[in-house]
Amino acid sequence: MMPSPEMPSRTMPSPAMPPHIQNAPKRWMLMLILLGLGLGWGLTQPLGKIAASTGHKPFGLIFWQLTVCTVVLGALTLSRGKRLPLRRDAMQFYVVVAILGTLVPNAALYTSVARLPSGIMSILISMVPLIAFPMAMALGMDNFSRRRLAGLGLGLAGVLLIALPNASLPDPAMAAFLPVAMIGPLFYAMESTYVAKTGTAGMDALQAMFGASLAGLILCTPIMLTLGHGFAMPLPPGPAEWALIASSALHALLYSAFVWLAAKAGAVFASQSSYLVTASGVIWAMVLLGERFSPWVWAAAAVMLAGLSLVQPKLRVQTLQPLNE
């Protein structure tokens, strides 16, 4: 599941601010947290590539990813004195978000990241808010804007800069997996649009993601067994398995920090982590995996980030309850 500007949204504090808002963290601290989010989420892309490098099948990787996320998010939820709602609307949310935000996009991610450079995957992730814009407009959740339409056009141009020139990828045959890689951003955009449209049945973000992780784990298990994708976690885990565990735990912890930051500084401020995720993902891929990119790829990254800057998130009425202090 990827965070989006639409999910943990919070309106700006009213003039009659409660004491804990008046004593809000200083801006430099918020900036450090924002930087940490960008660096951390960028790291999950090369870790995902390392996890997929041993040939483990996608739904086996997803099973263990969801196991780690369920444990981490469950512990965070229960430690705050919260429980997992089992109402019908909550159960529907868990299932829909598990499918849109984890099962389908992560299956595409693990399939494509094993064949595409990790840095390319980080660049493509920046398409999420660009794709979400026309979806929101089609559902009547947003108004037409030439500026934001231009941003979508730049994002599509960035994809073409990666796909079309023969010299953009280390192997031109890799371009065949770009449509698979784009399934992830497409479904993440569908997930964020769904949450923005329906809300989360009165749950805060950690409760919601704990439930979605647990539902995803339940749904993933029979798929994994039917397809023969399962594998036993070795003890002690090898480098690829540690990369999977670290990536999963890191995502759960970073999501918690993202929600806290959105509640403290606003959804628009927190959403700026999207730029940092793309940039740091490319840098981490260069440092950890030794990846190097053609001028076409650098141009694509610049064009996509420019498009992202035009498709700014819009402040919404709060749909997620803020986390308790």
Q: Is the pLDDT reported for residue 17 higher than 60? A: no
Query: Considering the domain boundaries, does residue 7 fall inside one?
Result: no
Cis-peptide into 236, omega within 30 deg? yes
For the cut 80, the answer to whether the pLDDT of residue 40 exceeds it is yes
Nearest Cα to 230, choosing from 49, 61, 50, 47? 61
Give the largest Cα separation in the chain, rounded. 59
pLDDT category at 187 given cuts 50, 70, 90 is very high
Residue 220 confidence (pLDDT) above 70: yes
46 — pLDDT class (breaks 50, 70, 90): very high
Task: Kindly state whether residue 224 falls inside one of the protein's structural domains.
Answer: yes
Most confident segment among 12-16, 47-51, 62-66, 125-129: 62-66
Number of domains in the chain: 1
Whether residue 21 lies inside any domain: the answer is: no
285 pLDDT more than 70: yes
For the chain, what percent of residues have pLDDT higher than 70? 85
Q: Which of 37, 88, 218, 274 is nearest to 210 (CA)?
A: 218
Q: What is the pLDDT of residues 58-77, one digit of tens each?
A: 999 999 999 999 999 999 99
pLDDT-derived band of residue 204, with 50, 70 and 90 as boundaries? confident
Residue 262's pLDDT band (boundaries 50, 70, 90)? low
pLDDT score, position 169: 85
Closest C-alpha among 174, 155, 151, 154 to residue 164: 174
The set of residues, in sequence order, having a beta carbon less than 8 Å from that of 243 and lying 6+ positions away, is 47, 48, 50, 51
Give the pLDDT band of residue 25 (cuts 50, 70, 90). Answer: low
Q: Tell me, yes or no, whether 80 lies in a domain.
A: yes
Q: Judge contact between 11 and 317, C-beta under 8 A.
A: yes
Task: Give yes or no for a contact between 285 and 123, defined as CB atoms under 8 angstroms apart.
Answer: no
**pLDDT at position 224:** 97
Q: Which residue has the higher pLDDT, 235 or 325?
A: 235
* Whether the Cβ atoms of residue 1 and residue 191 lie closer than 8 Å to each other: yes
Written as one letter, the residue type at 308 is: L
pLDDT of the residue at 151: 85
Work out whether the CA dihedral 33, 34, 35, 37 comes out positive or negative: positive
pLDDT at 18 exceeding the cut of 60: no
Overall average pLDDT of the 239-247 stretch? 92
Mean pLDDT of 215-238: 94
324 φ/ψ angles, rounded to the nearest 5 degrees: -65, 155
Query: Is residue 318 domain-resident?
Result: no
Q: How confident is the model at residue 53 (pLDDT cuts 50, 70, 90)?
A: confident
> What residue numbers bound the domain in which 231 lies?
36-310
For residue 279, being part of any structural domain is answered with yes
122-163 pLDDT, tens digit each: 888 888 888 888 888 888 877 777 888 888 888 889 898 888
| Alpha-carbon span 158 to 9, nearest angstrom | 28
